[in-house]
Amino acid sequence: MNKKSNYKKPYGQTLDRIMLYLLVFVIMGLSDAVIPVLPALANNGPLPDGGSSSLIFSSFFIGALLTMILFGVLADAYGHRLFVIFGVLLTLISGFMIIVSNDFWMIVIARFIEGAGCGAFFPSAFALLAGMDKREQYIGEFNFIINLGLAFGLKVTGMLANTGIKNGLMLFEGLMVPIFMISMMVLINNGPGETVLKKSEVFSTIAKSKKAIIHPQYYQIWLLSFVLFGSSGVLIALYHDFVSDVMTTDALGTYLASIYVGAMVTSLVAGRMQIPKDTLVKASMVFTGIGALCAVFHPIGLTLMGAGSGLGMVGLVTGVSYLNINKGLAMGIFNTCTYAGLALVPILSGLLVPIVGYSSVFIINGILLIIMVLLPMSALSQANSIK
């Protein structure tokens, strides 16, 4: 199922992989480095009852949501490697702003810019990986490192918080500088990337992206992405409040980290096995749904949920890479739906908590995930036969 690489230089693909793996680790680490110190960063915020923390947190997703399709299409026209670098530059700027400023609104703006950086980075990164000769394996490895960076950022920043609330941010910002320089050298060596779209067609393609979103086969993938990662985000966002009376913060942190561990393991396994994409996604929905249901009774369900999301990421991204649309646009839509789920489903679920309670909300999300198995997934099925 793997196609032959189009790289002209024998080491070009290896350089891209090294660049992408290093970058996604520090980008995800910097992104999650904010989480343990959110209350401190939001001290000067104008909103009560955690509203300021939520605004800092959500501004990242808003930035990503508003830019992913735009940057994905632009990358098709100007080169995916170029937009990987552009995304890193935005991330560097945002990290610097958060480190040097204590102004609440400046931090909110910085998080928005950081989200926009991810909006530039991820569609292009996935598009580059999708053009490589072992796309399933490399996408699995990439997702492994995404989760490693998230877990590392969360843990290290929490450990360093006692020495200074921004020390974790400074660590990842410092790591990003030399990696950015390495990436610039890769850009010079490999070029901006293959273009598959005329520059004059950028805005017309963006305007026509609605057709790809509502395509009778493709919309299933977007819906699956929205539900899978949105419902997973519900437990990440609300589980702390659910168990706060019966579990220590340290224990909760360990179980939450197990989400990333589960995803890391299944990402590597799924990426190295020739499993049909639709089978991977169906297994993902079942595992994640059962994990959500189990988490009502024991936090080990979070590990199972993470394992399911790892399967889903590999299956969905690989499947999207075979769709008959430009990769930048395809990955832009996919990531938009993923981030939309992460941003919106936890909010909607949070509104239900006062009405039905935490347990019922988790059960509803678990059942919803399992029900998604009934979708035809025809686009993913067709991708299985493409060489």
For 67-88, how does the pLDDT look when each residue is reduced to its tens digit (9 = 90+)? Answer: 999 999 999 999 999 999 999 9
Which two tokens mark 219? 């919309």
| pLDDT value, residue 241 | 78
Same-domain status, 286 and 382: yes
Q: For the chain, how many structural domains are there in total?
A: 2
**330: exposed, middle or buried (Cβ count in 10 Å: 0-12, 13-18, 19+):** buried
Same-domain status, 161 and 34: yes
CB atoms within 10 A of CB 43: 11
Same-domain status, 216 and 355: yes
Same-domain status, 81 and 167: yes
pLDDT at 263 over 60: yes
| pLDDT value, residue 288 | 95
Same-domain status, 182 and 303: no
Average pLDDT over residues 30-43: 83
The secondary structure of the chain, three-state, reads CCCCCCCCCCCHHHHHHHHHHHHHHHHHHHHHCCHHHHHHHCCCCCCCCCHHHHHHHHHHHHHHHHHHHHHHHHHHHHCHHHHHHHHHHHHHHHHHHHHHCCCHHHHHHHHHHHHHHHHHHHHHHHHHHHCCCCHHHHHHHHHHHHHHHHHHHHHHHHHHHHHCCCHHHHHHHHHHHHHHHHHHHHHHHHCCCCCCCCHHHHHHHHHHHHHHHCCCCHHHHHHHHHHHHHHHHHHHHHHHHHHCCCCCHHHHHHHHHHHHHHHHHHHHHHHHCCCCHHHHHHHHHHHHHHHHHHCCCCCHHHHHHHHHHHHHHHHHHHHHHCCCCCHHHHHHHHHHHHHHHHHHHHHHHHHHHHHHCHHHHHHHHHHHHHHHHHCCCHHHHHHCCCC
Mean pLDDT, rounded, of the chain: 88
30 close to 176: Cβ distance less than 8 angstroms: yes
Average pLDDT over residues 170-186: 95
Read off the amino acid at residue 113.
I
| pLDDT value, residue 159 | 80
Same-domain status, 138 and 217: no
| pLDDT value, residue 380 | 81
| pLDDT value, residue 6 | 63
Same-domain status, 235 and 380: yes
Same-domain status, 184 and 246: no
Alpha-carbon distance of 94 to 114, in angstroms, equals: 5
Domain boundary residue, one of 132, 160, 194: 194
Decide if 1 is inside a domain.
no
Alpha-carbon distance of 139 to 116, in angstroms, equals: 22
| pLDDT value, residue 249 | 62
pLDDT digit string, tens, across residues 199-230: 888 888 888 788 888 888 889 999 999 999 99
Decide if 142 is inside a domain.
yes
378 close to 217: Cβ distance less than 8 angstroms: yes
pLDDT at 142 over 80: yes
Decide if 5 is inside a domain.
no
Domain boundary residue, one of 194, 226, 258: 194
CATH number at residue 48: 1.20.1250.20
| pLDDT value, residue 113 | 97
Same-domain status, 305 and 371: yes
**99: exposed, middle or buried (Cβ count in 10 Å: 0-12, 13-18, 19+):** middle
pLDDT at 170 over 90: yes
Decide if 4 is inside a domain.
no
pTM: 0.85
Same-domain status, 218 and 301: yes
Alpha-carbon distance of 314 to 300, in angstroms, equals: 22
pLDDT digit string, tens, across residues 329-379: 999 999 999 989 888 888 888 888 889 988 999 999 999 999 999 988 888
Average pLDDT over residues 24-42: 87
Same-domain status, 177 and 282: no
pLDDT digit string, tens, across residues 85-112: 999 999 999 999 999 999 999 999 999 9
| pLDDT value, residue 386 | 62
| pLDDT value, residue 50 | 59
Q: Which domain holds residue 147?
A: 10-194
Same-domain status, 27 and 171: yes
321 close to 230: Cβ distance less than 8 angstroms: no
Domain boundary residue, one of 135, 162, 194: 194
Decide if 248 is inside a domain.
yes
Decide if 322 is inside a domain.
yes
Read off the amino acid at residue 195.
T
Alpha-carbon distance of 177 to 98, in angstroms, equals: 16
Decide if 18 is inside a domain.
yes
Token pair 């910085």 in the structure block, residue: 110
- pLDDT range class, residue 237, cuts 50, 70, 90: confident
Average pLDDT over residues 290-300: 94
Decide if 127 is inside a domain.
yes
